[in-house]
Structure 1
Amino acid sequence: MLTIGLDVGGTSVRAGVVTGDGEVLDTVRAATPGGVAALEDAICGAIADLAARHPVTAVGLAVAGFVAADRRTVLFAPHLAWRRAPVAERVARRVGLPVVLEHDANAAAFAEYRFGAARGARVAVLVALGTGIGGALLVDGVLFRGAHGVAPELGHLRLVPDGRPCPCGRAGCWERYCSGTALATTAVELLARYPGSSTVLAREVVGNGRVVTGRRVAGAARDGDPVARRALADLARWLGDGLALVADVYDPEVVVVGGGVSESAPLFLDDARERYASVMTGAGHRPPARIRTAQLGDDAGLVGAAVLARESSTRTP
């Protein structure tokens, strides 16, 4: 029984055909377009492409935004065009398959619980570092979605009063300091503050008129660029501070750090662990959570969405 999972993020739409064991057989990818019509065209096009090659039975959409409790409607998505949009119904009508929505971090966490870094954990939190921050909580293998389907929205915890503006409409949110977007923002600020202090990053980005991205900052850090390394140290500090808040609320057994930024975890995760362990409430008098990197990488969201779609369709009479 094959299903399609899609990870619909602020930067890209990734779709894959997934088996019941979590194996990804085939994938397609496209840049995330602006506007509702173009976005839904891209999603339906990816589904049609894969469905033409594989006998699929259902579709799961992992969405970077607030998904209603019935998992049919996107209420709000800071990095996408949907606002109170009945996405599942519209996509299902066009592709002729059952469609289920899920928050992208919930989908990734579910996949990591089934097949990856959170397997067997009684209380597990996933923090997905990408364009923003996604968060998810599982208790005994059950996703916690809150009363209205939107919990836990960890990326918009306010860490810095009157801090950087956020697309959610507030300022100082965690994801403005700890995400791929935040890493690029910090690097640009440091380049302006310390002109002449960067070699690799300035030559790679500024000198060639290219856009600063988190991926380029991480690459420059690997090459020893001092500004890029300082930007990653800043990200590690904010990651540790945010995880300390998360631990105070949920007391997790394991925290899985996923998302695109986690590919560069060797550059920052040890420092984040040290920061977390030093600033958590009761440090030294309680066991800290194990902080692990996601094992499924970029595939976690689409794998989780596909598995959830399979389970939802088998429960339907």
Structure 2
Amino acid sequence: MYLGLEVSEQALRGAYFQQKEVVLTPPVAVPASYEELLEALAQQVQEASRVGEAIRRVGVSIPGNCTERRVVWVPSLPYLNGRDLADDLRTRLGITVMLASDAQLALLGEVWRGTARDRQSAALVSVGTGINGALMLGGRIVHGAHGSAGALGWLVLDRQQAPDAEHGYLDLYASASALASQGRLLDPPLSPEEIIGRAREGQATCAKLVNECAAVLGIAVAGLASVFDPEVLIFGGVLTGAFDLFAPVLREGLLRYGSPSVRQTPLVASQLGADAPLYGALRAAMLLQSMWV
């Protein structure tokens, strides 16, 4: 049996097969230390083993930069940085473990059971606390030399902007965190969810904030499409539910800034939504390395 695990900023979750159906486990809080995280992940493996066959391989989704063995950089969970998580879990559990970024696994999930099925090339833009992304070329997910292929948040659109060592340009101007920063300046302050809700109701100030984020992201999406020419562009991450607000501005950006051949590239919402990285982690465990390049 195979197991997918997702480590996010707030929760741990698992996914496995039971009678040919994918079962998603309830979320549990992310532990405060590395040793506690290892124990929590091991417990997920043990619990999954109790309802079926012994676990053979595990895929783990990481909310940051990682190789297949080692976590490189996770801003939200710094105790993971530099840790050999795959080998530490393998030593503890005696099974094969592979790591990948949440965006790369989200795209793999969409290829398997979502909106990228039957595609040979696709690009996913993941909008959450930061901006991330993933690429599929020739039917394989691009992992990159250091595991960070598709890190769209670091695309710089203004050379006058002073660099930030911890956050990319798009992270600062087109993410849920960017909306949160703007929302704190309102009277009364509003969360990103509240901004989106009021924008959907037609509240002018909130609609403007959403449109400004989408406009910046639209330029980046046009550049991404122009460079890689994917069959489809997928909008994912925690703001998938706001696709109806982002889509018109993103399409305008694609038409205005994209190369002639990509201006009509289909732009669609993630079919799996927030569950995409978890489905991808399970699929990675099933395939091991056959979907990666």
Could you tell me the TM-score, scaled by structure 1's length?
A: 0.81
Picking from 286, 292, 296, the partner of 2:268 is: 292
Q: Secondary structure at the match of 1:260?
A: coil
- 1:252 partnered with 2:230: yes
Task: Provide the residue aligned with 2:63 in structure 1.
Answer: 64
1:247/1:42 CA distance change after superposition, 3 Å: same
Q: Secondary structure at the match of 2:268?
A: strand
Q: Secondary structure at the match of 2:184?
A: helix
Deviation at 1:186, TM superposition (A): 2.5
Give the partner amino acid of 1:94. R
1:52/1:225 CA distance change after superposition, 3 Å: farther
What pairs up with 1:137-152 in 2 under 5 angstroms?
Answer: 137-152=135-150
Deviation at 1:16, TM superposition (A): 2.0
2: CA distance between counterparts of 1:106 and 1:155? 14
Q: Deviations over 1:284-314 (max 9, x none)?
A: x654321111111111111111111112299
2: CA distance between counterparts of 1:20 and 1:155? 39
Picking from 60, 75, 78, the partner of 2:75 is: 78
Runs of 4 or more above 6 Å deviation: none
Q: Deviations over 1:110-140 (max 9, x none)?
A: 1111222112223211111122122111112
- The answer to whether the Cα contact below 8 Å between 2:126 and 2:237 also exists between their aligned partners in 1 is yes
1: CA distance between counterparts of 2:148 and 2:251? 27
- 1:12 partnered with 2:11: yes
What pairs up with 1:216-231 in 2 under 5 angstroms?
Answer: 216-231=194-209
Aligned residues: percent identity? Answer: 30
Q: Deviations over 1:246-291 (max 9, x none)?
A: 1222121211111111111112212211122112244xx6543211
Deviation at 1:147, TM superposition (A): 2.7
1:162/1:121 CA distance change after superposition, 3 Å: same
2: CA distance between counterparts of 1:273 and 1:18? 37
Task: Provide the residue aligned with 1:180 in structure 2.
Answer: 176
Deviation at 1:43, TM superposition (A): 2.9
Corresponding pairs, count = 288
- Aligned CA-pair RMSD: 2.6
Give the partner amino acid of 2:73. F
1:52/1:170 CA distance change after superposition, 3 Å: same
Task: Provide the residue aligned with 2:117 in structure 1.
Answer: 119
What pairs up with 1:126-205 in 2 under 5 angstroms?
Answer: 126-161=124-159, 163=161, 169=165, 173-189=169-185, 191=186, 195=187, 202=188
Q: Deviations over 1:77-119 (max 9, x none)?
A: 2322222211011123334432111111111111111222112
Give the partner amino acid of 2:57. A
- The answer to whether the Cα contact below 8 Å between 1:63 and 1:102 also exists between their aligned partners in 2 is yes
Deviation at 1:34, TM superposition (A): 4.1
- 1:266 partnered with 2:244: yes
1:256/1:57 CA distance change after superposition, 3 Å: same
Give the partner amino acid of 2:276. A
2: CA distance between counterparts of 1:66 and 1:272? 26
Q: Which segments of 5 or more consecutive residues in structure 1 lack a partner in the other structure?
A: 196-201, 207-211
Q: Deviations over 1:199-227 (max 9, x none)?
A: xxx3xxx4xxxxx5423332333344333
- The answer to whether the Cα contact below 8 Å between 2:6 and 2:61 also exists between their aligned partners in 1 is yes
Deviation at 1:234, TM superposition (A): 1.4
Task: Provide the residue aligned with 1:308 in structure 2.
Answer: 284
- The answer to whether the Cα contact below 8 Å between 1:5 and 1:18 also exists between their aligned partners in 2 is no
Task: Provide the residue aligned with 1:280 in structure 2.
Answer: 258
1:50/1:230 CA distance change after superposition, 3 Å: farther
1: CA distance between counterparts of 2:71 and 2:218? 30
Q: Which segments of 5 or more consecutive residues in structure 2 lack a partner in the other structure?
A: none
